[in-house]
Structure 1
């Protein structure tokens, strides 16, 4: 199935896509929003990460179109790339809503979301590194962790939404916060989609 002579360019390309996604997620988590001007700064930077991700996807598609042989099914390569890109797109979209709402009050639930999503991004990179090394079985532990983090985000979503409707009296603020919670949960779901795609790759090639 795999050649062990040298790293495969397709796997290296997937790893670059994963690394760009992780860097963007960590940037969003670590950035401290204190003013409306901060929102503009982080929004511009996240858009740059998204654009870089689109370029990496395009380069991968060009490689796929030019290559007769691929190390795994080309559909699986493209699916994994697109699922990782969904994580990045979701993060950029969420930050764009922070700016659109001029929302600078990041609460503890949002921080927890970003912590778990960042951990998921780390596991995605680790899994793609193992894919590059052709160590499919070792990828399973990272897939399990990603799914664990998604479940944690589900719990945060339920509890934070419950508290929001119990305690928030301003309907406009409630709408803004609910929107952001929902988007953060969707990013976690996208991370799980990556894990599911990795599982499919293992199933077909191990």
Structure 2
């Protein structure tokens, strides 16, 4: 579609890179849901809820980033949004480490530990992928400024 579409103010390769990064976020979120489903998790750990809220915060900030991107030359908030997403990802990393520690120290059922390790890992991947979107946008802006 990019090859036949109108000429954009941003390079097509950059738009493709950004759309792939956004798609990866969706794939990782779907991965969390799939792992909850196929490992038959019946109740959600509080640590997972806290990490999921961080991912939600990062997704909201990504939405704001995408809204702001067309105005990147005049934007006063675009850089702040990139920093905000990077900060959220760092916070999610810390929550992930604490959740994994809690899981391995307090987990009694080995199957439950295995299931939650996967879920926590994919929640952390979600945060990483959100940061990647912010980094791609930041790179695009720097390249076109």
Distance in 1, Cα, partners of 2:64 & 2:40: 35
**1:126-205 matched pairs, under 5 angstroms:** 126-134=64-72, 135-205=74-144
- TM normalised by structure 1 equals 0.67
Partner residue in 2 for 1:31: none
* Counterpart selection for 2:53 from 88, 96, 115: 115
Q: CA deviation at 1:103?
A: 0.6
Q: CA deviation at 1:157?
A: 0.9
* Counterpart selection for 2:25 from 87, 100, 113: 87
Equivalent pairs, count: 144
**1:43-122 matched pairs, under 5 angstroms:** 62=1, 64-67=2-5, 69-122=7-60
Summarize deviations over 1:14-33 as a string: whole Å, max 9, x none: xxxxxxxxxxxxxxxxxxxx
Moved more, 183-192 or 132-141: 132-141
Q: CA deviation at 1:193?
A: 0.4
Structure 2 unaligned blocks of 5 or more: none
Across the aligned residues of Structure 1 and Structure 2, the Cα RMSD in angstroms comes to: 1.3
Q: Which runs of 4+ in 1 moved over 4 A?
A: none
| Cα 1:92/1:112, change in 2 over 3 Å | same
Which structure's relative contact order is higher, taking Cα pairs within 8 Å and 6+ residues apart?
Answer: 2
Structure 1 unaligned blocks of 5 or more: 1-61
